Amino acid sequence: MSSPEISKAAKMLQQGEVVVIPTETVYGLAANIYDATAVRSIFELKGRPSNNPLIVHIKSFEVLSEVAKNIPDTALKLASHFWPGPLTLVLEKQDTILDVITAGGNTVAVRMPNHPIALNLLQETGFPLAAPSANPSNYISPTSAENVRKAFGERAPFILDGGPCQKGIESTVVGFKSDGVYLYRHGAITKEALEAALDGVEIKTITHESASPASPGMLLKHYSPRAKLIHTADVKQHLLNVQGKQVGVLSFNTHYTHPAIAHQLILSPSGNLEEAAQGLFNALYELDSKGLDIILAEVFPEEGLGLAINDRLGRAAAE
Contact positions toward Mg ion, by CB under 5 A? 133
Give Cβ neighbours of residue 256 (< 8 Å, ≥ 6 apart).
235, 236, 239, 249, 264
Distances (CA, A) of 118 to 64, 123, 128, 169: 16, 9, 11, 17
157 binds ligand AMP (CB under 6 A): no
300 binds ligand AMP (CB under 6 A): no
In this structure, what are the phi and psi dihedrals at residue 192, rounded to the nearest 5 degrees?
-60, -40
Q: Give one word for 271, left, alpha or beta, with left for phi > 0 and alpha for psi -120 to 50.
A: left
User: What minimum distance in Å lies between the beta carbon of 160 and ligand AMP?
Assistant: 18
User: What minimum distance in Å lies between the beta carbon of 49 and ligand AMP?
Assistant: 11
Return the axis-axis angle of helices 145-152 and 273-288, rounded to nearest 10°.
Answer: 40
Site for ligand AMP in 55-114 (CB under 6 A): 55, 90, 102, 105, 107-109
Asked if 276 and 267 count as a contact pair (C-beta separation under 8 A), the reply is yes
217 binds ligand AMP (CB under 6 A): yes
Q: 217 is in the binding site of which of ligand AMP, Mg ion, none (Cβ under 5 to 8 A by kind)? A: ligand AMP
- DSSP letter string over 222-265? -S--SSEEEEES-HHHHHTT-TT--EEEEESSPPP--TTEEEEE
User: What minimum distance in Å lies between the beta carbon of 254 and ligand AMP?
Assistant: 30
User: What minimum distance in Å lies between the beta carbon of 244 and ligand AMP?
Assistant: 36
Count residues binding ligand AMP (CB under 6 A). Answer: 20
- Give me the 173-202 binding string for ligand AMP, x by CB under 6 A, dash otherwise: x----------xx-----------------
Which C-beta is closer to ligand AMP: that of 85 or that of 132?
132
Sign of CA dihedral 278, 54, 19, 76: negative
The CA distance from 145 to 26, in Å, is 10
User: What minimum distance in Å lies between the beta carbon of 44 and ligand AMP?
Assistant: 15
- DSSP letter string over 256-292? P--TTEEEEEES-TT--HHHHHHHHHHHHHHHHTTT-
53 binds ligand AMP (CB under 6 A): yes
Residue 77 corresponds to which amino acid? K
128 binds ligand AMP (CB under 6 A): no
Q: Which residues pair with 204 in a beta bridge?
A: 182
Which C-beta is closer to ligand AMP: that of 85 or that of 105?
105
Among 22, 84, 128, 132, contact with ligand AMP (rule: CB under 6 A): 132
User: What minimum distance in Å lies between the beta carbon of 268 and ligand AMP?
Assistant: 24
Instruction: Write out the residues near ligand AMP by the rule CB under 6 A.
Output: 52-55, 90, 102, 105, 107-109, 132-133, 170, 173, 184-185, 215-218
